[in-house]
Amino acid sequence: MARRFSVIFIPEGDSKVRRVRIQSGIVKSIFCCCFVAFGLFAFFAYSYFNLTVDRDELQRLRVATSQQRQTLQHLVADLEEVHRQMSALADTEARVRQLANLEVIPQGIPVAIGGLPEVEPIEGVDDIQRQINQLQVEIELRRQSQEGARNLLNDQVSLSRATPKGWPTKGWLTSYFGMRKSPFTGKRVMHEGLDIAANTGTPVIATADGIVARVRYSPGYGKMVIIDHGYGYRTIFAHNSKILVEAGERIKRGDVVAKVGNTGQSTGSHLHYELRLNGVPIDPRKTL
Ligand SMILES: [Zn+2]
């Protein structure tokens, strides 16, 4: 049953009271409209608020993106610089290897001369990360390669220092390495070293770094010194008048180890100089 509402207008003064009758449906409609209008207002207000917040956020993000782009550009420049330095290092290593005649280049090492391959274009953080990983691998390989080169060089230096070289005393050659007629027996025998004539007391010097292996007197060789140089090399100095070192002493090339003399089976003051490689006498003349 439809209900009615009455709205009574009571004017001031003498005017008549007015009464308006309204059906309940209309009242409900008015309420509904008000409710919908309020809802719409709230929705638009909320949307507007959100829009403002989004706009600020967008602005902030734009600034942040711009800063990140600049950071990225700096990183790219830094990476390119690191690549250049790596390339320079590789060049230097290649030159060192060439100078030292180290021809063996370990596997996996990029060919150094002419620089490393071009730097790949960088689009984003992932590319940078990938290049950093790649650089880390390259640095490790480069480190291993340089360590290898250093070891090879050290070996070469050690070998060079341990290889007998130069004259063991100041004098002149009187007898060569090889078969000769023995001055004592007249028979042809092998002379396993060089005879260098020099005045008694002339310094006898080590021709390579090493350790004194033996100091002794032998009826044939007289007062003798044997120096072990490693790498299979040994030198023997015989007929000395005096020995100045002891067994076990570490010797550098150029150190005075004895004095020339005429001890043992000798026909005059001279140094008998022998060079052995793995126990086999070799001609020391090539090393003088
Ligand atoms: Zn001799």
Specify whether the CB–CB gap between 239 and 264 falls below 8 A: yes
What integer pLDDT is reported at residue 116 of this predicted model? 46
Separation between Cα atoms, residue 50 and residue 107, nearest integer Å: 61
What the block records as the tokens of 93 is: 């290593």
Q: Could you give the number of structural domains in the chain?
A: 3
- Among the candidates 144, 162, 180, a domain finishes at 162
Tokens 């409609």 — which residue?
Answer: 29
The predicted model scores a pTM of 0.65
What the block records as the tokens of 158 is: 């050690």
Residue 167 inside a domain? The answer is no
Statement to judge: residues 198 and 94 lie in one domain:
no
Q: 273 CA distance to ligand 1 centroid (A)?
A: 7
Q: 22 CA distance to ligand 1 centroid (A)?
A: 148
Q: 203 CA distance to ligand 1 centroid (A)?
A: 17
Q: 104 CA distance to ligand 1 centroid (A)?
A: 42
Statement to judge: residues 183 and 98 lie in one domain:
no
Statement to judge: residues 98 and 116 lie in one domain:
yes
Residues (pLDDT < 50) of the chain are: 1, 111-117
- Among the candidates 22, 45, 62, a domain finishes at 62
What integer pLDDT is reported at residue 114 of this predicted model? 41
Residue 264 zone, left/alpha/beta (φ > 0; ψ -120 to 50; rest): left
Q: 195 CA distance to ligand 1 centroid (A)?
A: 5
Q: 67 CA distance to ligand 1 centroid (A)?
A: 85
Statement to judge: residues 32 and 129 lie in one domain:
no
Residue 259 inside a domain? The answer is yes
Q: 272 CA distance to ligand 1 centroid (A)?
A: 4
Separation between Cα atoms, residue 88 and residue 94, nearest integer Å: 10
Domain carrying residue 127: 71-162
Q: What is the pLDDT of residues 54-74, one digit of tens each?
A: 999 999 999 999 998 898 888
What integer pLDDT is reported at residue 232 of this predicted model? 95
Q: 247 CA distance to ligand 1 centroid (A)?
A: 22
Statement to judge: residues 54 and 112 lie in one domain:
no
What integer pLDDT is reported at residue 220 of this predicted model? 94
Q: 193 CA distance to ligand 1 centroid (A)?
A: 6
What integer pLDDT is reported at residue 118 of this predicted model? 54
Statement to judge: residues 143 and 205 lie in one domain:
no
Q: 262 CA distance to ligand 1 centroid (A)?
A: 11
**Average model confidence (pLDDT) across the chain:** 89
Q: 46 CA distance to ligand 1 centroid (A)?
A: 113
Q: 194 CA distance to ligand 1 centroid (A)?
A: 6
What integer pLDDT is reported at residue 107 of this predicted model? 52
What integer pLDDT is reported at residue 2 of this predicted model? 57
- Among the candidates 162, 192, 225, a domain finishes at 162
Statement to judge: residues 183 and 258 lie in one domain:
yes
Statement to judge: residues 180 and 247 lie in one domain:
yes
What integer pLDDT is reported at residue 121 of this predicted model? 67
